[in-house]
Structure 1
């Protein structure tokens, strides 16, 4: 079974929402792909056996020794068929990937569009394993071969970047979107182990706080999906040991809500309380709505009836409840939970930092993240419940 957040419909709506600015960004800031040659010695391969890759845009000036790494997102695969299908796409092979990527939002090199990180070394880690860079296994039945080597891909990319300056980093931020945002939870503490002891290292997850919640049919759709994924791709051995030893169901430590209490590195959680991907695939998966009662609500939140709104508000409440301990924790943690029907807000310029960007307490996402990273202010922003926020870019509506 494949779960890919980049559906055709959502991608089209994202494009229509930001088309003028996206086109402008593409014309001015394209970054080339680098294949990781040392991956061979580590056995680090994409699903189809191709070499992993990343895009690096060099920092300059005062940011020349600072590094921002961004995990790419793109869903998961949790069985052989879906992984074989995925291996024949850009989600499982660098052969099918675009060889240049647009760097915008948190990856922009323009000070007016990305004021705090524009001159850092910015890296996009391409996603081709289907398990949030966390698996370590192989499938070979004599006719089909799949490499589940996300953990080794992560290690190979880091080892490739260390001699390029990452090893002398003064400041570093590990980030990611969607499945890449989940990867940030899984690799945050490990990232700090590679860097100098005196470096300022922090982590940011964008749309990666996937909940262990029941769907509208009262089934644990995501829990069983992740359970199969963890077993297939050999993920459990790479999950946080403190979490797995204290949890009767170790595979659940793939969920951020169970992993977060054990993360020692300062962490920022950027998420919509009505995350579109979770709304469509975890709360109301197609199997739980065979007659399409939620069809119009999924397309446009304004079309949701009173019961559907009540259900959505319950999902938001559960998310905030699971984050309560984090909200009340020390100054080291940051948070921006808004009420926009969106998924991934750090890489799109319109939602990251623009004149009409979404705001909570009159603060943009970029400002909130910057305040947190540099310690300018305590940055734990929680939006009011839908439909009160008129600054949203509701990409599905």
Structure 2
């Protein structure tokens, strides 16, 4: 995707965001924007994140990894929203990492209605017909030691996201505009894990399940299932990036995100994943990480920015909560926020820390909460591990996660409040490719 294309997508998305009457439709485009923007940034090196990457090829260019479609997907009932087979990208490990596996679950929002799910069918987050046939492996997926010191030579998998419910829907097929929609996220998860087990995952000596955004939420959801696939004697852990979505009211006092999740859970019958939880509370509450992690037994690491740019735009200040658009410039660039808005954002940060207070007591758990205005930090070299990466207590994300995974140190890093951390490179959606 060319830089100019991303620029046009950004401009179109912002116009759409300001005028869209149906919020669920706006979320589809917000999700697609994230997927395309991040994919484009990966292809353009670190330029998308304000780094010094160029379009010229060099020895540090990322490997391009082919898409593999699931065999016999239709027979297994494991299909994307449009009925096409789901897919993944597998890069084989080498050297000391030949028996180690890292599985990354792609993100891209959710769909909560037949209309919004139908819109996703013509995008990479709803159909393998629209997925890139090759993707660059960067950040936590990089095979270059200087960019990914602890996991560069592992077997690495990027699982493509095409069900719209964090790989967890188990609903019946529905018809929209004369065509069928399939809600098969759980079957997709099982089918892809089954193929990976046959391709060597079953013989892993150590493994890590990770994911970003909706894939980060899926990491929480499937963590113990992943553990159960593998021998009890090996090290298996889970690491969620930007998947801890808060169940907070928006600036107008409405529970916008819980209402949205309620529609997702009902449409795709996600409640089947949480039988104990839904017996105690409203099913949509069970779709929040704060509830999910209470029952996860496998060691977890939680990475989240305290000022998650996606959450601020879609949970804290959705379009419906700001009809006068007084937050528009602020939620696209944190440097544009006035003192009252910053005070509100500090309250949002406090809500995150409060939601994580019990998890902090978990001796097997890891945490990295920085004060950057960004979303998804593992899938760029620039934010994952480089000389200019964001740091907390002088650790990059890669160093913190590696220390936790390999038991080199206890890692529960919580950054000071904005704007105290000079290593942050804050997302600026008002100007493409600026941080």
Question: Do the aligned partners of 1:38 and 1:156 also contact (CA within 8 Å) in 2?
Answer: no
Alignment of 1:1-397 (within 5 A): 1-2=24-25, 3=27, 4-7=30-33, 15-18=47-50, 20-21=52-53, 23=55, 27-137=61-171, 138-140=173-175, 143-239=178-274, 241-245=275-279, 247-330=280-363, 332-396=364-428
SS, match of residue 417 in structure 2: coil
CA 1:88–1:141 in structure 2 vs 1: closer, same or farther (change >3 Å)? closer
Shift of 1:252: 1.2
CA 1:6–1:90 in structure 2 vs 1: closer, same or farther (change >3 Å)? closer
Give, in whole Å, the separation in 2 of the partners of 1:250 and 1:296.
34
TM-score (norm 1): 0.95
Give, in whole Å, the separation in 2 of the partners of 1:355 and 1:10.
23
Which segment is superposed worse, 321-330 or 21-30? Answer: 21-30
Give, in whole Å, the separation in 1 of the partners of 2:193 and 2:235.
17
Q: Count residues in correspondence.
A: 394
SS, match of residue 153 in structure 1: helix
Shift of 1:91: 1.1
Shift of 1:21: 3.1
- Cα RMSD for the two superposed structures: 1.8
Question: Do the aligned partners of 1:273 and 1:340 also contact (CA within 8 Å) in 2?
Answer: yes
Question: Do the aligned partners of 1:5 and 1:178 also contact (CA within 8 Å) in 2?
Answer: no
Unaligned runs of 5+ residues in structure 1 are: none
Unaligned runs of 5+ residues in structure 2 are: 1-23, 429-434
Give, in whole Å, the separation in 2 of the partners of 1:134 and 1:166.
21
Question: Do the aligned partners of 1:242 and 1:262 also contact (CA within 8 Å) in 2?
Answer: no
Shift of 1:234: 1.3
TM-score (norm 2): 0.87
Give, in whole Å, the separation in 2 of the partners of 1:10 and 1:35.
23
Give, in whole Å, the separation in 1 of the partners of 2:281 and 2:390.
40
Give, in whole Å, the separation in 2 of the partners of 1:187 and 1:260.
11
Give, in whole Å, the separation in 1 of the partners of 2:334 and 2:197.
45
CA 1:360–1:28 in structure 2 vs 1: closer, same or farther (change >3 Å)? closer
Structure 1 runs (4+) deviating above 2 angstroms are 2-28, 38-41, 241-245
SS, match of residue 216 in structure 1: coil
Shift of 1:38: 3.4
Give, in whole Å, the separation in 2 of the partners of 1:60 and 1:22.
28
Question: Do the aligned partners of 1:243 and 1:262 also contact (CA within 8 Å) in 2?
Answer: no
